[in-house]
Homo-oligomer: A and B are copies of this chain.
Amino acid sequence: MPNPTAAMLVIGDELLSGRTRDANMHYLAGELTRAGIDLREVRMISDDAEAIVSAVRALSAAYDHLFTSGGIGPTHDDITAESVARAFDRPIGVREDARAVLAAHYEKSGQDLNEARLRMARIPEGATLIENPISAAPGFSIENVHVMAGVPAIFNAMVASVLPGLSGGAPLLSQSLRIYRGEGDIAGPLGDLAVRYPELSIGCYPFQQDGVFGAHVVIRGADGAQVDAAMQALQSTFAE
């Protein structure tokens, strides 16, 4: 069975202006790889309703899962929840269980659950809440879309809540080899190897470190015996 596929949609003007550097994409990429889910595409867009609706529709149709990050806070430009509702033609409103979670959280911290904060309890009809152990305001899953916060610590915690429930395919096995040659010298033999093992993914990642240069070659695949065989072939090619 092939691995499930995924896309990520990162929402936020502050990323596109260069003000903030995204951290969530790199984190999610690593977690999905470990879970055996292939992240195929990431899009970053601004807090624009039309852009969110059309990206959610396109990506949720094209991949098995879509993870979103950002735009679910209390301010006027946090429009992810209502845009996702629109993408699936679902009504959205304050949900009692979400409001209760927020009320308990703000009561504990002595803050007011005002109208702005109450926006964070607006959940599209039919969605499942995603727990937020850090600041209470929940994310949600609807259809195959998992809507999460942009703040990295909260995003990471939500990913940890969501991932175990998604059925991973066979985990990808990988082996890597450090080769102290220029990429141009590695390219030929690597191309031959890719032809011999069409089901494996073979990547070449150059490095320069402490005056030494070379590349990490990473071989990935669901079939461990094939990965082993390809790695042995690679090692014998570049044995000193």
CB distance A204 to B18 under 8 Å?
A: no
CB distance B40 to A45 under 8 Å?
A: yes
Q: A17-B33, A203-B14, A211-B211 are in contact. Are A44 and B22 (CB under 8 A)?
A: no
6 cross-chain CB contacts under 8 A: A18-B26, A18-B39, A19-B203, A75-B187, A75-B190, A116-B184
A232 at the interface (CB under 8 A from B): no
A115 at the interface (CB under 8 A from B): yes
Return the CB mask of A194-225 against B: 1 if under 8 Å, else 0. 10000001111111111111000010100000
CB distance B22 to A187 under 8 Å?
A: no
Interface residues of A, CB < 8 Å — how many? 66
New A-B contacts (15) at CB < 8 Å, excluding given A17-B220, A40-B51? A13-B203, A14-B205, A16-B41, A17-B30, A17-B33, A18-B31, A40-B45, A73-B183, A73-B206, A74-B187, A75-B187, A75-B190, A116-B187, A116-B191, A208-B210
CB-nearest residue of chain B relative to A8? B44
A32 nearest CB across to chain B (Å): 7
Residues of chain A from 1 to 42 with CB closer than 8 A to chain B in the complex: 13-22, 25-33, 38-42
A39 nearest CB across to chain B (Å): 5
In whole angstroms, how far apart are the Cα atoms of A30 and B20 in the complex? 10
Which residues does chain B contribute within 8 Å of A42, judged by CB atoms? 15-16, 42-45
A229 nearest CB across to chain B (Å): 19
CB distance A191 to B40 under 8 Å?
A: no
CB distance A41 to B41 under 8 Å?
A: no
Q: What are the 9 tightest A-B residue pairs by CB atom distance, in nearest-first order? A: A18-B29, A18-B30, A116-B187, A76-B191, A42-B44, A211-B211, A75-B187, A21-B26, A117-B184
